[in-house]
Structure 1
Amino acid sequence: MDHETNAKHSVLERMLLDASAEPIGLPLSLLEDITNGFSHDRQIGSGGFAVVYKGILRNVTIAVKKLSKTLDIHEKQFNEEVSCLMKAKHKNIVRFLGYCSDTQGKMVDFEGKLVMADVRQRLLCFEYLPRGSLDKYITGSSCVLKWRECYQIIKEICEGLHYLHVERRIVHLDLKPTNILLDCNMVPKIADFGLSRRFCEKQSQILTAEVKGTLGYMAPEFVNSGQITFKSDIYSLGIIITEILTRQKGYRDVEDVLDIWKNRLQQESQRDIHLEQVRVCAEIAIECADYNPAKRPVTKHIINRLDETESTSRSTETSGSTSSVAQAEKESSEQHQWIPKVPGETSDETVEWRWAQF
Structure 2
Amino acid sequence: MEIDNIESLKYNFSTLRGATNNFSEDNKLGQGGFGAVYKGKFGDGCEIAVKRLSTDSRQGDIEFKNEVLLVAKLQHRNLVRLLGFSLEGSERLLIYEFLHNESLDKFIFDPIKRTLLNWQKRFTIIKGIAKGLLYLHEDSRLRIIHRDMKASNVLLDVEMNPKIADFGMARLFNPEETQGNTSRIVGTYGYMAPEYARYGHFSVKSDVYSFGVLVLEMTTGQKNQCFRNGENIEHLLSFVSIDPTTINSKMLAWKSWRNNTTTNMIDPILKMGTDSLSNITRCIHIGLLCVQENVSDRPTMSLVVLMFNSPSLSLPVPSKPAFFSFDPEYSSSTKSIRSKQRSSHSSLNDVSISEIVPR
Same fold (TM over 0.5): yes
2:19 equivalent among 34, 51, 70: 34
Q: Give the Cα–Cα distance (whole angstroms) in 1 for the partners of residues 217 and 192 of structure 2.
A: 15
Work out whether residues 25 and 98 of structure 1, in 8 Å CA contact, stay in contact via their aligned partners in 2.
yes
Aligned residue identity for 1:226:
G
Work out whether residues 81 and 194 of structure 1, in 8 Å CA contact, stay in contact via their aligned partners in 2.
no
Greater Cα offset, 46-55 or 136-145: 136-145
Work out whether residues 80 and 97 of structure 2, in 8 Å CA contact, stay in contact via their aligned partners in 1.
yes
Instruction: Quote the residue 1:303 is aligned against.
Output: 305
Aligned residue identity for 1:97:
L
1:150 to 2:122 alignment: yes
Greater Cα offset, 183-192 or 36-45: 36-45
Work out whether residues 130 and 183 of structure 1, in 8 Å CA contact, stay in contact via their aligned partners in 2.
yes
Q: Give the Cα–Cα distance (whole angstroms) in 2 for the partners of residues 288 and 311 of structure 1.
A: 16
1:258 equivalent among 255, 258, 263: 263
Instruction: Quote the residue 1:25 is aligned against.
Output: 10
Partner SS, residue 177 of structure 2: coil
* Residues 141/260 of structure 1: CA separation in 2 closer, same or farther (3 Å cut): farther
Partner SS, residue 203 of structure 1: coil
Instruction: Quote the residue 2:138 is aligned against.
Output: 166
* Residues 283/84 of structure 1: CA separation in 2 closer, same or farther (3 Å cut): farther
1:236 equivalent among 207, 210, 223: 210
* Residues 265/227 of structure 1: CA separation in 2 closer, same or farther (3 Å cut): closer
Shift of 1:262: 8.7
Q: Give the Cα–Cα distance (whole angstroms) in 1 for the partners of residues 30 and 283 of structure 2.
A: 30
Shift of 1:53: 0.6
Aligned residue identity for 1:154:
I
Partner SS, residue 278 of structure 1: helix
2:277 equivalent among 275, 278, 281: 275
Partner SS, residue 85 of structure 2: strand
Q: Give the Cα–Cα distance (whole angstroms) in 1 for the partners of residues 267 and 170 of structure 2.
A: 38
- TM-score where L is the length of structure 2: 0.71
Instruction: Quote the residue 1:334 is aligned against.
Output: none
1:209 equivalent among 183, 208, 230: 183
Aligned residue identity for 1:130:
H
Instruction: Quote the residue 1:127 is aligned against.
Output: 97
1:223 to 2:193 alignment: no
Which string of whole-angstrom CA distances, capped at 9 and with x for unpartnered residues, describes residues 11-37 of structure 1? xxxxxxxxx585711111111111111
Q: Give the Cα–Cα distance (whole angstroms) in 1 for the partners of residues 67 and 31 of structure 2.
A: 18
Work out whether residues 125 and 161 of structure 2, in 8 Å CA contact, stay in contact via their aligned partners in 1.
yes
Partner SS, residue 64 of structure 1: strand
Shift of 1:88: 1.2
* Between structures 1 and 2, the one with greater helix share: 1
Which string of whole-angstrom CA distances, capped at 9 and with x for unpartnered residues, describes residues 306-343 of structure 1? 1112899xxxxxxxxxxxxxxxxxxxxxxxxxxxxxxx
Shift of 1:277: 1.2
Partner SS, residue 92 of structure 2: strand
Work out whether residues 84 and 196 of structure 1, in 8 Å CA contact, stay in contact via their aligned partners in 2.
no
Aligned residue identity for 1:128:
F
Which string of whole-angstrom CA distances, capped at 9 and with x for unpartnered residues, describes residues 213-257 of structure 1? 111111111111111211110011011111111124412333444
- TM-score where L is the length of structure 1: 0.71
Work out whether residues 81 and 196 of structure 1, in 8 Å CA contact, stay in contact via their aligned partners in 2.
no
Work out whether residues 245 and 257 of structure 1, in 8 Å CA contact, stay in contact via their aligned partners in 2.
no
1:291 to 2:256 alignment: no
1:197 to 2:168 alignment: no
Over the matched positions of the two proteins, sequence identity in percent amounts to 37
Greater Cα offset, 125-134 or 136-145: 136-145
Work out whether residues 133 and 179 of structure 1, in 8 Å CA contact, stay in contact via their aligned partners in 2.
yes
* Residues 127/256 of structure 1: CA separation in 2 closer, same or farther (3 Å cut): farther
Q: Give the Cα–Cα distance (whole angstroms) in 2 for the partners of residues 209 and 80 of structure 1.
A: 24
Unaligned residue ranges in structure 1 (runs of 5+): 1-19, 104-119, 313-358
